Amino acid sequence: MSMNNQGRPSGAGEVGNTGMATISGDRGLDHEEALIFELGHGAVGVDLPDVKVGDEKLGGMRRNGGIGLPGLSEPEVVRHYVRLSRMNYAIDSGLYPLGSCTMKHNPRLNEKMARLPGFGDLHPLAPQSVTQGALELISQLMTWLTTLTGMPAVAMSPKAGAHGELCGLLAIRAAIAARGETRPRILVPESAHGTNPATAAFAGFTVDEVPAKLNGHVDAEALKAKLGPDVAAIMLTNPNTCGLFEGEVKEIADAVHAAGAYFYCDGANFNAIAGKVRPGDLGVDAMHINLHKTFSTPHGGGGPGAGPVVLSERLAPFAPVPLLVADGKGLRLIEDVQAAPQGAKPFGRMCAFHGQMGMFVRALTYMLSHGRDGVRQASEDAVLSANYILASLKDVMSAPFGDGPCMHEALFDDSFLDGTGVTTLDFAKAMIDEGYHPMTMYFPLVVHGAMLIEPTESESKESLDRFIHVLRSLATEAREKKTARFAGAPRLAPRRRLDETAAARKPVLRWKPDPLKAAAE
Amino acid sequence: MRYLPLTPDDRRAMLAKIGASDIDGLFRDVPGPALAPLSAFNLPDTQGEMEVERTLSKLAAKNIAAGAAPFFCGAGAYKHHVPASVDHLIQRSEFLTSYTPYQPEIAQGTLQYLFEFQSQVALLTGMEVANASLYDGSTATAEAVLMAQRVTKRGKAILSGGLHPHYAETVETVAGLFGPMVRGAVTPGEAEDLASLIDDETACVVVQSPDVFGLIRNLRPIAEAAHAKGALLIAVVTEVVSLGLLEPPGAQGADIVAAEGQSIGNGLNFGGPYVGLFATREKFLRQMPGRLCGETVDAEGRRGYVLTLSTREQHIRREKATSNICTNSGLCTLAFTIHLSLLGEEGLTRLARINHAKAVALADRLSKLPGVEVMTPAFFNELTIRLPKPAAPIVEALAGKGVVAGVPASRLFSRQTGIENLLILAATETNTDDDFAALAKVLQEVL
């Protein structure tokens, strides 16, 4: 099997630019790896009996022909995925400063608890009498979420942040309809995460953008001027995507309420204020909480997440099913809209079953471990670390909104790179060669060449100091026009820069069997 | 607190560097009254690992796990054996603790498995392209209807009466904003007439096979009827192992396949996280929701993978995006891909045959009980029986006797009359003959 040719068509001699070429094409611990489809050879990685079944009960729908899946033994499959894993950066291996993503430590106790058979091997439609422990866990988590946010109710089923946004907006839609009104417009600051306008459109609203001020805060006056009888809600992220707390939030909320609209708060950055500030005290009507950010359920290469939505008194009656209620016999799920208790008017259902239970177990484990004092300390340490980075870099990198303080993330722009020929992208990619994952780039959109750094509370001071030293050195070199290490970076990663234009122009989205090889066989 | 590396000395030194006298100096943008004291939070304080483990273990012990009893629940979530190596591999730090692969140079591991996942899903469903997952089968179905509404520029969707009611409600909640949602008749054990509901305003017909009662549906006539009116056929699969034995939707004329992938690689988890599979025809590629991973080359000509066609997505297109989804089911797709790689062609087809054989054995056993009627003439690993009395109290009674007997149809169709006595049961490779004997015995006792 010439697997290395699959990954290195240019040949071993041309690979890399440090040190010698190798015969195998692999380099020490750095292995190339073919696709699983190219490795298959008719083996089987499970032992199952070869049972024959008749056609009598298949309604004439038995599959004609094969599927085309490769066959490998267990050791081959294990090696394949272990090798793939080694091509990934991870929080466990290094500081992961992705602003707005909150890459904090993922405690392994959370994983262990989620795998207890009573949770991990529990069927969602098992009789409720034998799932009381699961319902109790959800109930405890609801108490934590409503207490930390100072809100009276929470809808647990949304499966991620954007799904939570949708849940919140559908509750707002239902509340407006219940008042006999029609309000088609949603106000969204231009600094918002892309899910905000996308969700508003998804929920059947039109989107009206509100500008940011030069200091990175939303323009409260412009926002108030846009309020009117056709506005359903505003969607405001607080702390905002520039890493700043919107100090005028209460006045904004009052104006929104006076106009008959609702205040949706994007809770993506709740991790800066958990245990310090209760959004319920700020006039929020609905806010999703990314359990995979603030409460450290692992990001897993892009999910799964969970996005419960806390709701104000005015929106609580419209929460979707399932609803969790207590009666004489214990806890009970109400799964049908028609069966809702007196006063409840659920707008519908967000998904099958009851939400991301696996994430609920992890989040509650995180909360119980931290306690209220630990949650508060984590928020403070996250804010402290971000400000430490801001204070340590602002003389060599450009901070568009002055000396701070910031909240849990430090925002820089690319003006310090003016005239150097180095772009934000080059700068970020050079960090890869230094052993770091880049920060969030080109977001938020309100800053030119944005670089958003979120260190989280999980880094030691030594780790922060080392990171600061590397970024200071890179910034200094760039400003001295020593650009060699920037152009074409990274050089030391499993891959150099990838051609994204070619990928989009002629999409190859799946493996297909080689027609010549298939014909020969 | 064991997860926080900063010491009090570190914090003092950092505050000094910043030039703040105390931590609340950094929260000065927060209006004073909004800064809550710790006492405002009526919650417990920090606990050690041992104490937390004790608390959660007590809660877990109050539940009956599927593996702890003769167990027959299905209806959209299935108890299957997951090889030990799957859970070991997905817990590798480099998979578990990485973000969405936005920096492809240092995320080839995630990107390559997403590419493998997309390839596997396309092959299994018999479709041309698949995305890198959605949240679960129900939200994938809702996204499919929204996509059909965009493609056809029509609003109406026809939802088969055999579609899992949770799926139907999820679709209605989201896609119902953009057009009428029409439900077909609920006809346990037989296919209802859907063709007569399709008209020139219909965007799509949504049909699940095997349906929620376990019945295998023939999608071809519905595909023809839909296509004749310019509508799309959306095929829903809640038990993806069935594709190892049954004709895939792609071969029956489906335009979009929305499926639940939990059965491969993923535990029951009381309903989530699961993994939504989404596949379609290449001509609809640019209307697809969700992330896509594509093959390309790097600056040295080496093959590599990137997220692609992101101009469909919210972070570029904002309110004009094809979906608002951001986080998907990354780690669940990995579990799916690893398990399916272990199974391979031979393993999956064997697994599917075993599941069917178990369900046939269950049907045989139950049909011999007096007063019990098997309603489902053609099934994969799930079927519906009619009992002589209401099913819900019987299921509760049997749970008290240590047998988890299945899902009463009334739990899913609470507004439907005439289904009170119906019980939906699944049998998988995990069920033994002893399980079947135990079920038959306790069922006979209560009937």
Write the DSSP assignment of B249-291 as a string of letters: GGGGT-SEEEEE-TTTT---GGG-S--EEEEE-GGGGGG--S-
Location of structure tokens 């609905």: A286
Range of the domain at A134: 110-365
Residue A75, in any domain of the structure: no
Nearest CA in chain A to B310: A504
A348, A365, A382 — which closes off a domain? Answer: A365
Instruction: Tell me if chain B has a CB within 8 Å of the CB of A27.
Output: no
Into how many domains does chain B fold? 2
* CATH number of the domain enclosing B234: 3.40.640.10
Cβ of residue B267 closer than 8 Å to a chain A Cβ: yes
Evaluate whether residue A159 is within a structural domain: yes
The reply to whether B333 and B362 lie within a common domain is no
Distance from CA of B13 to the nearest CA of A (A): 9
Residues of A in contact with B366 (CB under 8 A): none
The answer to whether residue A519 sits within a structural domain is no
Domain range spanning residue B354? 69-82+344-446
Q: Is residue B34 part of a domain?
A: no
Residues A337 and A454 in one domain: no
B351 & B333 share domain: no
* A390 belongs to a structural domain: yes
**Residue B429 and residue B82 in contact, taking contact as beta carbons nearer than 8 Å:** no
Task: Name which of A69, A249, A300 is nearest B123 (Cβ-Cβ).
Answer: A69
Considering the domain boundaries, does residue B8 fall inside one? Answer: no
Q: B326 with B314: CB under 8 angstroms?
A: yes
Q: Could you identify the residue written with the tokens 């929620």?
A: B212
Tell whether B88 and B78 lie within a shared domain.
no
Q: Are residues B272 and B380 in the same domain?
A: no
Q: Are strands B202-208 and B232-237 parallel, antiparallel or unpaired?
A: parallel
Instruction: Please indicate, yes or no, whether residues A412 and A385 belong to a single structural domain of this protein.
Output: yes
Q: Which of B162, B300, B320 is nearest to B236 (CA)?
A: B162
Q: Are B263 and B239 in contact (CB under 8 A)?
A: yes
Residues 184-203 of A with CB under 8 A from B: 193-195, 197-203
CB pairs < 8 Å spanning A and B: 726
Within-domain flag for B236? yes
Does A303 share its domain with A158?
yes
Residue B43 in domain:
no
Would you call B330 an interface residue with chain A, using a CB distance cutoff of 8 Å? yes
Whether A377 and A313 map to the same domain: the answer is: no
Please indicate, yes or no, whether residues A257 and A358 belong to a single structural domain of this protein: yes
Cα B29 → chain centroid:
43
- DSSP run (H or E) holding B105: none
Residues 161-200 of chain B whose Cβ lies under 8 A from any Cβ of chain A = 164, 166-167, 169-170, 172-174, 176-178
In whole angstroms, how far apart are CA A502 and each of A15, A506, B308, B317? 21, 6, 10, 20
Is residue B128 in a domain?
yes
| Same-domain pairing of B78 and B96 | no
Q: Which residues contact A258 (CB under 8 A, 6 or more apart)?
A: none
Do B315 and B394 share a domain, yes or no? no
Residue A96 lies in a domain: no
Domain boundary (B313, B339, B365) is at: B339
Contacts of A6 in chain B (CB under 8 A): 303
The whole-number pLDDT of residue B315 equals: 86
A353 in the same domain as A215: yes
Residue B46 predicted with pLDDT over 50: yes
pLDDT band at B344 (very low <50, low <70, confident <90, very high): very high
E strands along A239-304, which residues? Answer: 262-266, 286-288
A168: CB partners within 8 A, 6+ apart: A264, A286, A287, A288, A309, A311, A315
> How far apart (Å, rounded) are the C-alpha atoms in residues B199 and B205?
11
Kindly report the nearest CA distance between residue B228 and chain A, in angstroms: 23
Is residue B303 assigned to a domain? yes
Across the interface, which of B5, B132, B414 has its CB nearest the CB of A339? B414
Q: Give the gap in angstroms from C-alpha B50 to the nearest C-alpha of chain A.
A: 10
Same domain as B372, residue B285:
no
| Residue A308 included in any domain | yes
A234 lies in the same domain as A296? yes
Q: Could you tell me which of A296, A301, A298 has the C-alpha nearest to residue A88?
A: A301
* Pair B432, B291 in one domain: no
Q: Does A132 map to a domain?
A: yes
Residues A360 and A388 in one domain: no
ipTM of the complex: 0.98
Question: A470 is written with which tokens?
Answer: 């590397």
Asked whether residue B145 falls in the same domain as residue B232, the answer is: yes
Residue A64 at interface with chain B, using a CB cutoff of 8 Å: yes
Residues of B in contact with A34 (CB under 8 A): none
B42, B63, B288: best mutation site toward chain A, by most A Cβ within 10 Å?
B63
The number of folded domains in chain A is 2
- Asked whether residue B209 falls in the same domain as residue B78, the answer is no
Of A403 and B30, the one with more pLDDT: B30
Whether A180 and A318 map to the same domain: the answer is: yes
- CA-based R_g, chain B, Å: 25
Interchain pair A303, B133: CB under 8 A: yes
Residue A120, chain B, CB below 8 Å: the answer is yes
Residues B301 and B359 both lie in one domain: no
**What residues of chain B, 73 to 112, have a C-beta less than 8 Å from chain A?**
73, 75-77, 79, 83, 85, 87, 89-101, 103-110, 112
- Whether B123 sits inside 8 A of A68 (CB atoms) is yes
Q: Mark whether B232 and B372 lie in a shared domain.
A: no
Instruction: Tell me the chain A residues in contact with residue B359 when contact means C-beta distances shorter than 8 Å.
Output: 57
pLDDT 10s digit of each residue in chain A, 521 long?
334 445 544 444 444 455 688 999 999 999 999 999 999 999 999 999 999 999 999 999 999 999 999 999 999 999 999 999 999 999 999 999 999 999 999 999 999 999 999 999 999 999 999 999 999 999 999 999 999 999 999 999 999 999 999 999 999 999 999 999 999 999 999 889 999 999 999 999 999 999 888 899 999 999 999 999 999 999 999 999 999 999 999 999 999 999 999 999 999 999 999 999 999 999 999 999 999 999 999 999 999 999 999 999 999 999 999 999 998 889 999 999 999 999 999 999 999 999 999 999 999 999 999 999 999 999 999 999 999 999 999 999 999 998 789 999 999 999 999 999 999 999 999 999 999 999 999 999 889 999 999 999 999 999 999 999 999 999 999 999 999 999 999 999 999 999 999 999 999 999 998 777 766 65
| In-domain check, residue A14 | no
Question: Does residue B46 form part of some domain?
Answer: no
Query: Are A436 and A454 members of one domain?
Result: yes
Cα gap A132→A135, rounded to integer Å: 5
Whole-number percent of chain B with pLDDT over 70: 100
First-last CA distance in chain B = 56
B83 vs A74: CB contact, 8 Å cut-off? yes
Q: Which of B99, B90, B428, B327 is nearest to A114 (CA)?
A: B90
Q: Is A392 in the same domain as A340?
A: no
